[in-house]
Amino acid sequence: MQIWAIDLNEEFYFEAHMFTELWTIFLNDLKADNKLESSQPFPAVIFFPIYTEMLICYFFISFFTSSLSSPDFNYNTDGYEGEGAEDGKSQDGSETLPYIDESPTMSPQLCAPQGPDGEAVSPTPPEGLPPGVRAGDIEKGLEMKKLVLSGFLASEEIYINQLEALLLPMRPLKATATTSQPVLTIQQVDTIFYKIQDIFEIHKEFYDALLPSIQQWDENVTVGHLFQKLASQLGVYKAFVDNYKEALETAEKCSHANSQFQKISEVSPNTHLPDNSDSWSPSFLPTALLYKPIDRVTRSTLVLHDLLKHTPKDHPDFPLLQNALRISQNFLSSINEEIDPRRTAVTTPKGEARQLVKDGFLVEVSESSRKVRHVFLFTDLLLCAKMKKTAVGRHQQYECKWYIPLADLTFQTLDDSDSCHSVQVLPEHEIEEMKIKISALKNEIQKEKKGPKGQSRVERLRKKMNEQESWLLLHSPTIPFCIHNKHGKSYLFLLSSDYERSEWRESIQKLQKKDLQSCVLSSVELQVLTSSCFKLRTVHNIPVTSNKDDEETPGLYGFLHVIVHSAQGFRDSANLYCTLEVDSFGYFVSKAKTRVFRDTTEPQWNEEFEIELEGSQYLRILCYEKCYDKSMLNKDDNEIVDKIMGKGQVQLDPQTVQSKNWHMDIIEMNGIKVEFSMKFTSRDLSLKRTPSKKQSGVFGVKINVVTKRERSKVPYIVRQCIEEVEKRGIDEVGIYRISGVATDIQALKTAFDTNTKDILVMLSDMDINAIAGTLKLYFRELPEPLLTDRLYPAFMEGIALSDPAAKENCMMHLLRSLPEPNLMTFLTLLEHLKRVAEKEPINKMSLHNLGTVFGPTLLRPSESESTKGQHITSASDIWSHDVMAQVQVLLYYLQHSPISFAELKRNTLYFSTDV
């Protein structure tokens, strides 16, 4: 049986006699439940919501009775032929999942009847309704809001009762599962009733919180936070939907195979079978009730539409309801994309059904050069295409480069890794420089938009940014994904994240578990299939900013604090760790990694990380099992050989994340649950140089105060951190780039501030990335930059000089102009960073990389200086403004021959800083 969430339109007309019958049944039920005395007049204030609910009930009954009784009913709504889709079967014969309608047309209030002129007409208020209450009456908006909420609360109570009815047979079934004569196994019970208990508890909590708000209604009552919390828990529904098909199949099988389960299904309480119940299968009950949670998401989304319609924009509820609606709509859209095979089906000339499972833009290495390809994974083959160049106004088309039947496809193994040729990787500093250029262009576009005649220039800037972002997406991926066909031909893709590689590999392997046959497409078949790609594709544009609408969120700029708490759900003990990724400039970058928790099924990391965001919208968490077998290392391409146990992604919603409090969440991944917390600090707040109130410490204290107190030329913290990094971290991949655990960094900060005697012991035991992070934090929190606010303009002008001799004189003179503690500390750090860069083949940290990491930290002016004469127009302004010049200043000194303090002081060249 196939259950679809439906779009109620003009096809369904309201019949008065049917409404009367339903109304009578409803009143009798109320009296039977002692909710309404027989002599008591019906309360007028709740007439409207009950009218709404009865109308919806009638539509649902009309739909299901007609769809189940009429063999000619067509479910098709989006242009694809519905043949072969009867009885809940897709074209390939497999059962389909319920399609969720996220459109607002299902709402009776949004589907107002039309008058003779075609304009929407508000329904006549029922007798007894307060005078003047109409859908378009702004003054009565809050009263309408209460009516909408009352109706929703009533339906919520019905829904909770339905969930309880579904849970009733679960408890005895579970109880008998452990006896000698079980009705069902524990696994079968868990599959059929998967997540129902969790959904019940979520809605019971929501109902209990909403009820008093309606009972004590006034204009100041807020309910948006309740709907926002409800929307934030839609991950449970996602898990339910993922299991839905299996739950139906299991219920069907158990009903046919087990007479006891069949009887339980037939006599479950609170369920009324149709009069012609003989025509219904014994598994009707679990099937009918199991669709309820899916239908409920659609219902709550429609209610949010109505609530927003009757909530003033200046009411505190409005932004919360708006956010809840956005989350719900995104959820429905994502579910529909996953579960509606009709949208991704194509029929070959032979009549075979072929469905699109996944598509996306990947970078292919072809003839030793990188090419952007659009890759399509169908149920039986993988097709690699490129967009054909067409004349202006002509319909775009794809050109097939190659395809491999999945029956013939194999993945790279460690033994044949040399068959996938290595590809040249650009120096990382070129990637970083391009990011800075793109950031600067974004800000320039924003400024031009506000100008009176900037549109033509905006288009030129957009075109330039598109070229630069496309270049970045083409050259940044480095993780190899190699596939072969049975004839020995290999194809190499480069991906930016192990997450994507795992997704593609898992999707292909899942399809390969079916009984696939090899196929050879004729030229006509290949042309038909390639032509269909344009219509079937789910990813339409290369993920660059210039392809996004102006209204789309620009993402977050600043620092995301993440605590990875724990994980559970592992079957066997293993050595486990997590990595964190965020998106940046259209692709994902790994930003942090927890320590390995050895030989456990319940790792307790409790590690905090500070992750820099550059227009990021998503956080990914990947859980790995660590491989310690060195024979498994792949030296040719440094491929990660640790096994991915699970992966998950969460959207960085600004309203949720930007609160000052920690936001706790759980990511479910392949049965594994990872618990984490996060909070966000915007860049303008996180980059402030705030002087410390306690001058007895070292963080936030002027460097000359610290050195004078310590009677040293270089602060003790700088000397000790450098010594420890050179002792055991100079070979560490990504040293100074990989985030250290925030709690470890804070512990070291406290130890240095309080001059703890055990500081050397702490340093020797601490993770090296935490020590590197402590050194960066020290320079970042100086009340003024190491190279001083006073000299900052001169450094910016000096690095821009074209004449090498003039630049040399200026840059050296600026160093001599620094206060002695600043100069000595800078020269000490400079020589240390040069020694780190000498190990670049091992640690992957070049002078350019180190300049990118330390340049802004050592030169970024304090807040008062950095904002003089400037108007910051966006969050990314602070990032892009002068960053490239700051990096270039440090890079100049890193690339310079050794600079000694004594030589600088002996040099008597005089050069004005007013260049």
Question: Residue 323 has which token pair?
Answer: 């956010």
The angle at the Cα of 439, spanning 451 to 891, to the nearest 5 degrees, equals: 130
The whole-number average pLDDT for the span 62-77 is 33
Residue carrying the six token digits 């319940």: 602
Question: Kind of pairing, strands 556-568 and 490-495?
Answer: unpaired
Question: Residue 280 has which token pair?
Answer: 């219904």
Does residue 858 have a pLDDT over 80?
Answer: yes
CA distance 171 to 185: 13
CA distance 907 to 878: 37
For residue 905, the model assigns a pLDDT of 73
CA distance 878 to 880: 6
Fold entry, domain 135-268+284-339: Dbl Homology Domain; Chain A (1.20.900)
What pTM does this model have?
A: 0.54
Confidence class of residue 601 from pLDDT cuts 50, 70 and 90?
very high
The most distant pair of C-alpha atoms in the chain lies apart, rounded to whole Å, by: 107
The CA radius of gyration of the chain, in Å to the nearest whole number, is 32
The whole-number average pLDDT for the span 243-250 is 80
3-class state of residue 616 by DSSP = strand
The whole-number average pLDDT for the span 356-367 is 91
Question: Residue 170 has which token pair?
Answer: 């679960």
Confidence class of residue 631 from pLDDT cuts 50, 70 and 90?
low
* 299 and 49 Cβ atoms separated by less than 8 Å: no
Question: Residue 271 has which token pair?
Answer: 């369920």
Three-class HEC string of 102-131: CCHHHCCCCCCCECCCCCECCCCCCCCCCC
Question: Residue 10 has which token pair?
Answer: 């003009």
- Give every CB contact of residue 616 below 8 A, 6+ residues apart in sequence: 555, 556, 560, 582, 583, 584, 652
Residue 831: Cβ-neighbour burial (10 angstroms; 0-12, 13-18, 19+) = middle
Give the chain's mean pLDDT: 74
Question: Please, which residues bridge with residue 494 across strands?
Answer: 363, 480
| Exposed e or buried b per residue across 185-213, where buried means at least 16 C-beta atoms within 10 angstroms of its C-beta | eeebbbbbbbbbeebbebbeebbeebeeb
Running DSSP on this structure, what letter comes out for residue 731?
T
H/E stretch holding 769 reads helix 768-780
- Give me the half-sphere count of Cα atoms (radius 13 Å) on the Cβ side of residue 848: 11
pLDDT digits (tens, 9 = 90+) for 157-179: 888 888 888 788 787 888 887 78
Sign of torsion, CA 494 495 498 500? negative
Confidence class of residue 272 from pLDDT cuts 50, 70 and 90?
very low
pLDDT digits (tens, 9 = 90+) for 180-225: 778 788 888 888 888 888 888 999 999 999 999 888 888 788 888 8
In CATH, the architecture of 342-414+478-546 is: Roll (2.30)
71-85, 491-505, 598-612, 784-798: range with lowest mean pLDDT: 71-85
Residue carrying the six token digits 């000790």: 720
Running DSSP on this structure, what letter comes out for residue 404?
E
For residue 704, the model assigns a pLDDT of 94
For residue 348, the model assigns a pLDDT of 54
pLDDT digits (tens, 9 = 90+) for 277-315: 333 333 334 445 666 676 777 778 888 888 888 888 888
24-28, 440-444, 449-453, 903-907: range with lowest mean pLDDT: 24-28
CA distance 202 to 234: 10
* 199 and 238 Cβ atoms separated by less than 8 Å: no
CA distance 263 to 481: 52
Domain 693-862+877-908 class? mainly alpha
* 405 and 518 Cβ atoms separated by less than 8 Å: yes
Fold entry, domain 556-628+640-686: Immunoglobulin-like (2.60.40)
For residue 795, the model assigns a pLDDT of 94
Does residue 823 have a pLDDT over 90?
Answer: yes
- Give me the half-sphere count of Cα atoms (radius 13 Å) on the Cβ side of residue 35: 9
CA of residue 683 relative to chain centroid, distance = 20
- Give every CB contact of residue 818 below 8 A, 6+ residues apart in sequence: 787, 788, 791, 826
Q: How many residues does the chain have?
A: 915
CA distance 527 to 300: 44
CA distance 119 to 121: 6
Most confident listed range (1-5, 616-620, 807-811, 825-829): 825-829
Most confident listed range (274-278, 464-468, 564-568, 687-691): 564-568
Does residue 43 have a pLDDT over 70?
Answer: no
- Cα-flanking dihedrals φ and ψ of residue 669, to 5°? -145, 105
Domain boundaries, given as residue ranges, for the chain? 135-268+284-339, 342-414+478-546, 426-476, 556-628+640-686, 693-862+877-908
The whole-number average pLDDT for the span 853-873 is 67
Residue carrying the six token digits 């957009």: 462
* 356 and 348 Cβ atoms separated by less than 8 Å: no
Measured distance between the N- and C-terminal CA atoms of the chain, rounded to whole angstroms = 80
Question: Please, which residues bridge with residue 649 across strands?
Answer: 620
Helices (H), 274-400: 284-290, 292-309, 317-339
3-class state of residue 220 by DSSP = coil
Residue 728: Cβ-neighbour burial (10 angstroms; 0-12, 13-18, 19+) = exposed
CA distance 330 to 315: 24
CA distance 606 to 875: 30
* 826 and 707 Cβ atoms separated by less than 8 Å: no
Comparing 666 with 39, which gets the higher pLDDT? 666
CA distance 163 to 31: 23
Instruction: Give the residue from 269, 296, 310, 276 showing the smallest Cα distance to 122.
Output: 310
CA distance 852 to 886: 8
3-class state of residue 286 by DSSP = helix
Listed as own residue / partner, the contacts of 908-914 with beta carbons closer than 8 Å and 24 or more positions apart are 909/809, 909/812, 909/813, 910/813, 911/809, 911/810, 911/812, 911/813, 913/791, 913/794, 913/798, 913/810, 913/813, 913/814, 913/817, 914/794
Question: Residue 138 has which token pair?
Answer: 């702004």
DSSP, residue by residue, 4-68: ------TTS---HHHHHHHHHHHHHHHHHTTSS-TTSPPPGGGHHHHHHHHHHHHHHHHHHHHHH
pLDDT digits (tens, 9 = 90+) for 530-572: 888 888 888 888 877 666 655 556 678 888 889 999 999 999 9
Listed as own residue / partner, the contacts of 268-272 with beta carbons closer than 8 Å and 24 or more positions apart are 268/165, 268/168, 268/169, 269/165, 269/168, 270/161, 270/162, 270/164, 270/165, 271/165
CA distance 367 to 421: 10
Comparing 118 with 493, which gets the higher pLDDT? 493
* 622 and 499 Cβ atoms separated by less than 8 Å: yes
